[in-house]
Amino acid sequence: MAGGIAHDFNNLLTAIRGNADLAAADVGPDHPATESLEEIRKACVRAGELIRRIMAFGRPREPQQELVELHEIIEEVLKLLRSTLPAGVALKTDFAAATPQVYADTGQIHEAIVNLTNNAVYAIGPRPGQIAYRLEPVHVDARQAQGIAGLRQGHYARLTVTDDGCGMDAATLERIFDAFYTTKPMGEGTGLGLSMVHGTMRSHGGTVTVESTLGQASTFSLYFPAAEIVDVQPADRAVLPIAQAVPLRVLYVDDEAALVFLANRLLTRLGHSVVGFSDPREALAAFRAHPESFDVVVTDLSMPEMSGFQLARAVLAVRRDLPVLMTTGHMRAEDHVTAQAIGIRAVITKPLVADEWVRQFELLSPLRAG
Ligand SMILES: Nc1ncnc2c1ncn2[C@@H]1O[C@H](COP(=O)(O)OP(=O)(O)OP(=O)(O)O)[C@@H](O)[C@H]1O
Ligand SMILES: [Mg+2]
Protein backbone atom coordinates (compact mmCIF):
# COMPACT_ATOMS: atom_id res chain seq x y z
CA MET A 1 0.00 0.00 0.00
CA ALA A 2 1.47 3.33 -1.04
CA GLY A 3 2.21 5.90 1.64
CA GLY A 4 -0.45 8.23 0.25
CA ILE A 5 -3.20 5.65 0.60
CA ALA A 6 -2.08 4.80 4.12
CA HIS A 7 -2.20 8.49 4.92
CA ASP A 8 -5.81 8.82 3.69
CA PHE A 9 -6.71 5.63 5.47
CA ASN A 10 -5.33 6.91 8.75
CA ASN A 11 -7.36 10.09 8.38
CA LEU A 12 -10.54 8.10 7.86
CA LEU A 13 -9.75 5.92 10.85
CA THR A 14 -9.17 8.99 12.94
CA ALA A 15 -12.56 10.36 11.95
CA ILE A 16 -14.29 7.04 12.73
CA ARG A 17 -12.53 6.57 16.03
CA GLY A 18 -12.93 10.18 17.13
CA ASN A 19 -16.65 10.23 16.35
CA ALA A 20 -17.16 6.94 18.16
CA ASP A 21 -15.43 8.44 21.21
CA LEU A 22 -17.61 11.51 21.07
CA ALA A 23 -20.77 9.46 20.66
CA ALA A 24 -19.77 7.26 23.60
CA ALA A 25 -19.36 10.35 25.75
CA ASP A 26 -22.77 11.65 24.60
CA VAL A 27 -24.78 8.54 25.32
CA GLY A 28 -23.07 7.64 28.60
CA PRO A 29 -21.96 4.24 29.88
CA ASP A 30 -25.44 2.81 30.49
CA HIS A 31 -26.78 3.22 26.98
CA PRO A 32 -27.20 0.06 24.90
CA ALA A 33 -25.18 1.64 22.06
CA THR A 34 -22.07 1.82 24.27
CA GLU A 35 -21.10 -1.75 23.54
CA SER A 36 -21.29 -1.21 19.78
CA LEU A 37 -19.26 1.99 20.07
CA GLU A 38 -16.61 0.12 22.02
CA GLU A 39 -16.46 -2.49 19.23
CA ILE A 40 -15.96 0.30 16.67
CA ARG A 41 -13.13 1.65 18.77
CA LYS A 42 -11.46 -1.77 18.99
CA ALA A 43 -11.81 -2.32 15.24
CA CYS A 44 -10.13 1.05 14.61
CA VAL A 45 -7.19 0.11 16.81
CA ARG A 46 -6.75 -3.14 14.88
CA ALA A 47 -7.12 -1.44 11.51
CA GLY A 48 -4.45 1.10 12.50
CA GLU A 49 -2.14 -1.73 13.50
CA LEU A 50 -2.79 -3.47 10.20
CA ILE A 51 -1.85 -0.38 8.19
CA ARG A 52 1.44 -0.13 10.06
CA ARG A 53 2.21 -3.77 9.33
CA ILE A 54 1.34 -3.53 5.64
CA MET A 55 3.47 -0.43 5.27
CA ALA A 56 6.40 -2.09 6.99
CA PHE A 57 6.12 -5.03 4.62
CA GLY A 58 5.80 -2.93 1.45
CA ARG A 59 8.75 -0.75 2.29
CA PRO A 60 11.35 -2.81 4.08
CA ARG A 61 13.92 -0.02 3.87
CA GLU A 62 11.66 2.49 5.53
CA PRO A 63 12.71 2.44 9.16
CA GLN A 64 10.09 1.77 11.80
CA GLN A 65 11.59 4.51 13.86
CA GLU A 66 11.15 4.55 17.58
CA LEU A 67 12.99 6.46 20.24
CA VAL A 68 15.82 4.15 21.31
CA GLU A 69 18.91 4.04 23.48
CA LEU A 70 21.63 2.76 21.15
CA HIS A 71 23.70 1.25 23.94
CA GLU A 72 20.82 -1.08 24.77
CA ILE A 73 20.73 -2.37 21.20
CA ILE A 74 24.52 -2.79 21.08
CA GLU A 75 24.61 -4.65 24.38
CA GLU A 76 21.90 -6.99 23.23
CA VAL A 77 23.58 -7.77 19.90
CA LEU A 78 26.93 -8.42 21.57
CA LYS A 79 25.34 -10.68 24.15
CA LEU A 80 23.92 -12.77 21.30
CA LEU A 81 27.11 -12.69 19.21
CA ARG A 82 29.69 -13.32 21.91
CA SER A 83 29.19 -17.07 22.14
CA THR A 84 29.50 -17.51 18.37
CA LEU A 85 32.76 -15.57 17.95
CA PRO A 86 36.27 -17.10 18.00
CA ALA A 87 37.74 -17.20 21.51
CA GLY A 88 40.68 -15.00 20.48
CA VAL A 89 38.45 -12.01 19.68
CA ALA A 90 37.85 -9.67 22.62
CA LEU A 91 34.89 -7.29 22.56
CA LYS A 92 35.21 -3.95 24.33
CA THR A 93 32.50 -1.39 24.90
CA ASP A 94 32.67 2.22 25.95
CA PHE A 95 29.41 4.16 26.11
CA ALA A 96 29.53 7.86 26.90
CA ALA A 97 26.76 8.74 29.33
CA ALA A 98 25.64 11.89 27.51
CA THR A 99 24.91 10.11 24.23
CA PRO A 100 21.53 11.29 22.96
CA GLN A 101 18.65 8.99 22.17
CA VAL A 102 17.90 8.47 18.48
CA TYR A 103 14.99 7.45 16.28
CA ALA A 104 15.92 4.08 14.91
CA ASP A 105 14.65 0.77 13.64
CA THR A 106 15.97 -1.71 16.18
CA GLY A 107 15.98 -4.63 13.74
CA GLN A 108 17.98 -2.77 11.11
CA ILE A 109 20.52 -1.46 13.61
CA HIS A 110 20.87 -4.97 14.99
CA GLU A 111 21.67 -6.25 11.51
CA ALA A 112 24.16 -3.44 10.83
CA ILE A 113 26.12 -4.18 14.01
CA VAL A 114 26.19 -7.89 13.18
CA ASN A 115 27.53 -7.10 9.68
CA LEU A 116 30.27 -4.82 11.02
CA THR A 117 31.22 -7.37 13.65
CA ASN A 118 31.42 -10.22 11.15
CA ASN A 119 33.63 -8.13 8.89
CA ALA A 120 35.90 -7.26 11.82
CA VAL A 121 36.17 -10.90 12.88
CA TYR A 122 37.05 -11.87 9.33
CA ALA A 123 39.69 -9.12 9.15
CA ILE A 124 41.24 -10.24 12.44
CA GLY A 125 41.47 -13.80 11.20
CA PRO A 126 42.92 -16.64 13.26
CA ARG A 127 45.22 -14.57 15.50
CA PRO A 128 43.98 -12.81 18.66
CA GLY A 129 42.41 -9.41 18.21
CA GLN A 130 39.99 -6.87 19.57
CA ILE A 131 36.83 -5.11 18.47
CA ALA A 132 35.93 -1.90 20.28
CA TYR A 133 32.46 -0.32 20.24
CA ARG A 134 32.37 3.28 21.31
CA LEU A 135 29.22 5.36 21.60
CA GLU A 136 29.45 9.11 22.06
CA PRO A 137 27.71 12.40 21.33
CA VAL A 138 29.22 14.49 18.55
CA HIS A 139 28.39 17.85 17.09
CA VAL A 140 28.98 18.24 13.37
CA ASP A 141 29.51 21.87 12.41
CA ALA A 142 28.86 23.36 8.98
CA ARG A 143 32.44 22.86 7.81
CA GLN A 144 32.66 19.24 8.95
CA ALA A 145 29.28 18.52 7.35
CA GLN A 146 30.70 19.49 3.97
CA GLY A 147 33.40 16.86 4.31
CA ILE A 148 31.07 13.98 5.21
CA ALA A 149 28.67 12.88 2.49
CA GLY A 150 25.10 12.66 3.70
CA LEU A 151 25.60 14.65 6.91
CA ARG A 152 24.05 17.92 7.84
CA GLN A 153 25.14 20.24 10.60
CA GLY A 154 23.74 19.13 13.95
CA HIS A 155 23.95 16.81 16.91
CA TYR A 156 24.52 13.11 16.47
CA ALA A 157 25.02 9.91 18.41
CA ARG A 158 28.07 8.27 16.88
CA LEU A 159 28.89 4.59 17.13
CA THR A 160 32.43 3.67 16.13
CA VAL A 161 33.44 0.07 15.61
CA THR A 162 37.21 -0.40 15.56
CA ASP A 163 39.11 -3.61 14.92
CA ASP A 164 42.83 -4.32 14.86
CA GLY A 165 42.56 -6.65 11.89
CA CYS A 166 44.18 -6.58 8.46
CA GLY A 167 42.94 -3.11 7.46
CA MET A 168 42.41 -2.01 3.87
CA ASP A 169 44.32 -0.32 1.09
CA ALA A 170 43.02 2.83 -0.59
CA ALA A 171 41.57 0.96 -3.58
CA THR A 172 39.46 -1.28 -1.34
CA LEU A 173 38.39 1.63 0.88
CA GLU A 174 37.00 3.41 -2.09
CA ARG A 175 34.65 0.60 -3.06
CA ILE A 176 33.59 -1.14 0.14
CA PHE A 177 30.11 0.41 0.29
CA ASP A 178 29.33 -0.69 -3.29
CA ALA A 179 26.84 -3.51 -3.58
CA PHE A 180 28.48 -6.85 -4.43
CA TYR A 181 31.99 -5.55 -3.80
CA THR A 182 33.92 -8.19 -1.88
CA THR A 183 37.53 -9.29 -1.53
CA LYS A 184 36.51 -12.64 -0.10
CA PRO A 185 37.11 -15.77 -2.16
CA MET A 186 34.39 -16.83 -4.58
CA GLY A 187 31.38 -18.17 -2.72
CA GLU A 188 32.35 -16.79 0.68
CA GLY A 189 30.92 -13.30 0.66
CA THR A 190 28.09 -11.51 -1.09
CA GLY A 191 29.60 -8.06 -0.80
CA LEU A 192 26.24 -6.80 0.41
CA GLY A 193 27.04 -6.41 4.11
CA LEU A 194 28.37 -2.87 4.01
CA SER A 195 26.02 -1.63 1.31
CA MET A 196 23.22 -2.68 3.63
CA VAL A 197 24.80 -0.77 6.52
CA HIS A 198 25.11 2.25 4.25
CA GLY A 199 21.46 2.03 3.16
CA THR A 200 20.32 1.69 6.74
CA MET A 201 22.24 4.73 7.89
CA ARG A 202 20.95 6.89 5.03
CA SER A 203 17.37 5.87 5.73
CA HIS A 204 17.96 6.90 9.36
CA GLY A 205 18.98 10.39 8.27
CA GLY A 206 22.64 9.71 9.05
CA THR A 207 25.58 8.09 7.36
CA VAL A 208 28.52 5.70 7.77
CA THR A 209 32.17 6.55 7.26
CA VAL A 210 35.32 4.46 7.31
CA GLU A 211 38.99 4.95 8.11
CA SER A 212 41.63 2.29 7.85
CA THR A 213 45.36 1.69 7.93
CA LEU A 214 46.50 -1.32 5.96
CA GLY A 215 47.84 -4.04 8.20
CA GLN A 216 46.74 -2.28 11.38
CA ALA A 217 43.15 -1.28 11.96
CA SER A 218 39.79 -0.24 10.58
CA THR A 219 37.17 2.05 12.09
CA PHE A 220 33.58 2.38 10.94
CA SER A 221 31.59 5.35 12.27
CA LEU A 222 27.81 5.34 12.25
CA TYR A 223 26.16 8.75 12.64
CA PHE A 224 22.59 8.82 13.99
CA PRO A 225 20.81 12.20 14.17
CA ALA A 226 20.13 13.01 17.80
CA ALA A 227 16.46 12.95 18.73
CA GLU A 228 16.18 16.02 20.87
CA ILE A 229 12.95 15.70 22.71
CA VAL A 230 10.34 17.04 20.36
CA ASP A 231 8.04 17.93 23.20
CA VAL A 232 7.07 20.73 25.49
CA GLN A 233 10.17 22.18 27.12
CA PRO A 234 10.76 20.50 30.50
CA ALA A 235 11.21 23.96 32.03
CA ASP A 236 7.64 24.86 31.19
CA ARG A 237 6.41 21.87 33.11
CA ALA A 238 8.66 22.28 36.11
CA VAL A 239 8.23 25.98 36.75
CA LEU A 240 4.46 26.16 36.39
CA PRO A 241 2.52 23.40 38.09
CA ILE A 242 -0.48 22.25 36.08
CA ALA A 243 -3.57 22.90 38.12
CA GLN A 244 -6.20 22.29 35.50
CA ALA A 245 -6.62 22.66 31.78
CA VAL A 246 -6.59 26.33 30.89
CA PRO A 247 -8.65 27.26 27.84
CA LEU A 248 -6.41 27.70 24.83
CA ARG A 249 -7.12 29.41 21.53
CA VAL A 250 -6.21 26.85 18.90
CA LEU A 251 -5.49 27.33 15.21
CA TYR A 252 -6.14 23.89 13.71
CA VAL A 253 -5.05 22.96 10.17
CA ASP A 254 -5.61 19.70 8.29
CA ASP A 255 -6.43 19.26 4.62
CA GLU A 256 -8.93 16.58 5.63
CA ALA A 257 -12.06 18.59 6.48
CA ALA A 258 -13.51 15.73 8.54
CA LEU A 259 -10.55 15.95 10.90
CA VAL A 260 -10.86 19.70 11.29
CA PHE A 261 -14.51 19.18 12.13
CA LEU A 262 -13.66 16.44 14.61
CA ALA A 263 -10.84 18.34 16.31
CA ASN A 264 -13.07 21.36 16.59
CA ARG A 265 -15.75 19.44 18.50
CA LEU A 266 -13.26 17.47 20.57
CA LEU A 267 -11.18 20.45 21.66
CA THR A 268 -14.23 22.61 22.23
CA ARG A 269 -15.52 20.02 24.68
CA LEU A 270 -12.21 20.14 26.48
CA GLY A 271 -12.84 23.83 27.00
CA HIS A 272 -10.61 25.24 24.24
CA SER A 273 -11.67 27.46 21.39
CA VAL A 274 -10.80 26.43 17.86
CA VAL A 275 -10.40 28.15 14.53
CA GLY A 276 -10.06 25.43 11.89
CA PHE A 277 -8.84 25.44 8.30
CA SER A 278 -8.46 22.77 5.65
CA ASP A 279 -6.33 25.05 3.48
CA PRO A 280 -3.00 25.95 5.13
CA ARG A 281 -2.67 29.10 3.03
CA GLU A 282 -5.92 30.42 4.46
CA ALA A 283 -4.78 29.42 7.93
CA LEU A 284 -1.55 31.34 7.48
CA ALA A 285 -3.39 34.42 6.26
CA ALA A 286 -5.68 34.28 9.30
CA PHE A 287 -2.70 33.87 11.59
CA ARG A 288 -0.76 36.74 10.03
CA ALA A 289 -3.80 39.01 10.37
CA HIS A 290 -4.05 38.33 14.14
CA PRO A 291 -0.92 36.56 15.39
CA GLU A 292 -1.65 37.41 19.02
CA SER A 293 -5.06 35.78 19.05
CA PHE A 294 -3.75 32.18 19.16
CA ASP A 295 -2.07 30.21 21.95
CA VAL A 296 -1.18 27.15 19.91
CA VAL A 297 -1.08 26.01 16.29
CA VAL A 298 -1.81 22.40 15.37
CA THR A 299 -0.98 21.43 11.81
CA ASP A 300 -1.02 18.29 9.71
CA LEU A 301 2.30 17.42 8.04
CA SER A 302 1.43 16.45 4.47
CA MET A 303 -1.00 18.77 2.77
CA PRO A 304 -1.14 19.47 -0.96
CA GLU A 305 -1.01 23.27 -0.93
CA MET A 306 1.70 23.73 1.66
CA SER A 307 3.41 21.28 3.99
CA GLY A 308 3.05 21.44 7.75
CA PHE A 309 6.76 22.21 7.93
CA GLN A 310 6.35 25.23 5.67
CA LEU A 311 3.39 26.44 7.66
CA ALA A 312 5.23 25.95 10.96
CA ARG A 313 8.21 27.91 9.67
CA ALA A 314 6.02 30.78 8.52
CA VAL A 315 4.15 30.85 11.85
CA LEU A 316 7.33 30.73 13.92
CA ALA A 317 8.85 33.50 11.82
CA VAL A 318 6.08 35.75 13.13
CA ARG A 319 5.93 34.40 16.70
CA ARG A 320 9.01 32.45 17.75
CA ASP A 321 7.46 31.62 21.15
CA LEU A 322 4.24 30.05 19.87
CA PRO A 323 3.86 26.30 20.48
CA VAL A 324 3.34 24.44 17.21
CA LEU A 325 2.18 20.83 17.32
CA MET A 326 2.27 18.56 14.31
CA THR A 327 -0.04 15.68 13.50
CA THR A 328 0.91 13.01 11.01
CA GLY A 329 0.11 9.47 10.03
CA HIS A 330 3.64 8.67 9.06
CA MET A 331 6.83 10.25 10.30
CA ARG A 332 10.16 9.32 8.72
CA ALA A 333 13.35 9.55 10.74
CA GLU A 334 14.49 12.61 8.82
CA ASP A 335 11.14 14.29 9.49
CA HIS A 336 11.91 14.20 13.21
CA VAL A 337 15.19 15.95 12.46
CA THR A 338 13.39 18.61 10.42
CA ALA A 339 10.68 19.05 13.08
CA GLN A 340 13.35 19.53 15.69
CA ALA A 341 15.29 22.02 13.58
CA ILE A 342 12.17 24.11 12.93
CA GLY A 343 11.22 24.14 16.63
CA ILE A 344 8.04 22.11 16.56
CA ARG A 345 7.01 21.27 20.14
CA ALA A 346 5.47 17.86 19.72
CA VAL A 347 4.48 15.37 17.09
CA ILE A 348 1.18 13.57 17.54
CA THR A 349 0.80 10.41 15.48
CA LYS A 350 -2.49 9.60 13.78
CA PRO A 351 -4.89 8.05 14.33
CA LEU A 352 -5.27 10.67 17.01
CA VAL A 353 -7.06 9.60 20.10
CA ALA A 354 -8.80 11.84 22.55
CA ASP A 355 -6.45 10.88 25.40
CA GLU A 356 -3.43 12.08 23.49
CA TRP A 357 -5.07 15.43 22.84
CA VAL A 358 -5.90 15.86 26.47
CA ARG A 359 -2.33 15.06 27.44
CA GLN A 360 -0.72 17.41 24.91
CA PHE A 361 -3.03 20.27 25.78
CA GLU A 362 -2.57 19.80 29.49
CA LEU A 363 1.15 20.13 28.92
CA LEU A 364 0.54 23.39 27.08
CA SER A 365 -1.94 24.90 29.49
CA PRO A 366 0.65 26.57 31.72
CA LEU A 367 1.88 28.56 28.74
CA ARG A 368 -1.35 30.48 28.74
CA ALA A 369 -1.50 30.81 32.49
CA GLY A 370 2.02 32.20 32.56
N1 LIG B 1 36.68 -4.44 9.24
C2 LIG B 1 37.22 -4.64 8.03
N3 LIG B 1 38.57 -4.78 7.88
C4 LIG B 1 39.09 -4.95 6.66
N5 LIG B 1 38.38 -5.03 5.51
C6 LIG B 1 37.04 -4.90 5.59
C7 LIG B 1 36.39 -4.69 6.84
N8 LIG B 1 35.07 -4.59 6.61
C9 LIG B 1 34.90 -4.74 5.29
N10 LIG B 1 36.07 -4.91 4.66
C11 LIG B 1 36.28 -5.06 3.21
O12 LIG B 1 35.11 -4.63 2.55
C13 LIG B 1 34.60 -5.64 1.71
C14 LIG B 1 33.10 -5.53 1.60
O15 LIG B 1 32.47 -5.82 2.86
P16 LIG B 1 30.97 -6.31 2.89
O17 LIG B 1 30.58 -6.55 4.29
O18 LIG B 1 30.14 -5.37 2.09
O19 LIG B 1 30.99 -7.66 2.08
P20 LIG B 1 31.71 -9.03 2.50
O21 LIG B 1 32.01 -9.02 3.94
O22 LIG B 1 32.83 -9.23 1.55
O23 LIG B 1 30.56 -10.07 2.18
P24 LIG B 1 29.42 -10.54 3.21
O25 LIG B 1 29.10 -9.35 4.06
O26 LIG B 1 28.31 -10.98 2.36
O27 LIG B 1 30.03 -11.65 4.01
C28 LIG B 1 35.10 -6.92 2.32
O29 LIG B 1 35.18 -7.96 1.37
C30 LIG B 1 36.49 -6.49 2.80
O31 LIG B 1 37.42 -6.46 1.75
MG1 LIG C 1 30.47 -8.44 5.35
- What pLDDT score was predicted for residue 54? 67
Q: Which residues line ligand 1 (CB under 6 A)?
A: 115, 119-120, 123, 163, 165-168, 172, 176, 181-184, 189-195, 218
List the CATH number of the domain containing 259. Answer: 3.40.50.2300
Domain C-terminal end among 225, 241, 257? 225
Domain C-terminal end among 26, 60, 94? 60
- What pLDDT score was predicted for residue 233? 34
| Residue with CA at minimum distance from ligand 1 atom 7 | 119
Q: Give yes or no for a contact between 117 and 81, defined as CB atoms under 8 angstroms apart.
A: yes
Q: How do beta strands 346-349 and 324-328 pair?
A: parallel
| Residues 170 and 33 both lie in one domain | no
Per-residue model confidence as pLDDT tens for the chain (370 residues): 456 677 778 888 888 988 888 898 889 889 989 988 988 988 888 788 777 766 655 555 555 778 899 999 999 999 989 888 999 999 999 999 889 999 898 988 998 999 999 999 999 999 999 999 999 999 998 888 888 887 888 889 999 999 999 999 999 999 999 888 999 988 788 888 898 899 889 888 899 999 999 999 999 999 999 986 443 333 333 222 233 457 889 999 999 888 888 888 888 877 788 999 999 999 999 999 999 999 999 999 989 889 999 999 999 999 998 999 998 877 777 888 899 899 998 888 776 666 666 677 766 665 554 4
User: Which ligand does the CA of 118 lie closest to?
Assistant: 2
| Residues 140 and 191 both lie in one domain | yes
Domain count, the chain: 3
List the CATH number of the domain containing 103. Answer: 3.30.565.10
Domain C-terminal end among 176, 201, 225? 225
CA distance 223 to 14: 35
- What pLDDT score was predicted for residue 196? 86
| Residues 49 and 142 both lie in one domain | no
CA distance 146 to 102: 22
CA distance 21 to 177: 51
**For a substitution probing ligand 1, which of 182, 183, 200, 218 has the most ligand atoms within 8 Å of its CB?**
182
| Residues 148 and 91 both lie in one domain | yes
| Residues 206 and 317 both lie in one domain | no
Distance (angstroms) between ligand 2 centre and the Cα of 99 equals: 27
| Residues 266 and 352 both lie in one domain | yes
- What pLDDT score was predicted for residue 231? 36
| Residues 364 and 280 both lie in one domain | yes
| Residues 213 and 239 both lie in one domain | no
| Residues 212 and 330 both lie in one domain | no
Q: Give yes or no for a contact between 259 and 15, defined as CB atoms under 8 angstroms apart.
A: yes
Range of the domain at 41: 1-60
Q: Which H or E element spans position 163?
A: strand 154-163
- pTM score, whole prediction: 0.54
- What pLDDT score was predicted for residue 118? 95
| Residues 145 and 97 both lie in one domain | yes
- What pLDDT score was predicted for residue 229? 47
| Residues 207 and 82 both lie in one domain | yes
Distance (angstroms) between ligand 1 centre and the Cα of 364 equals: 51
Q: Give yes or no for a contact between 170 and 218, defined as CB atoms under 8 angstroms apart.
A: no
- What pLDDT score was predicted for residue 234? 32
| Residues 53 and 76 both lie in one domain | no
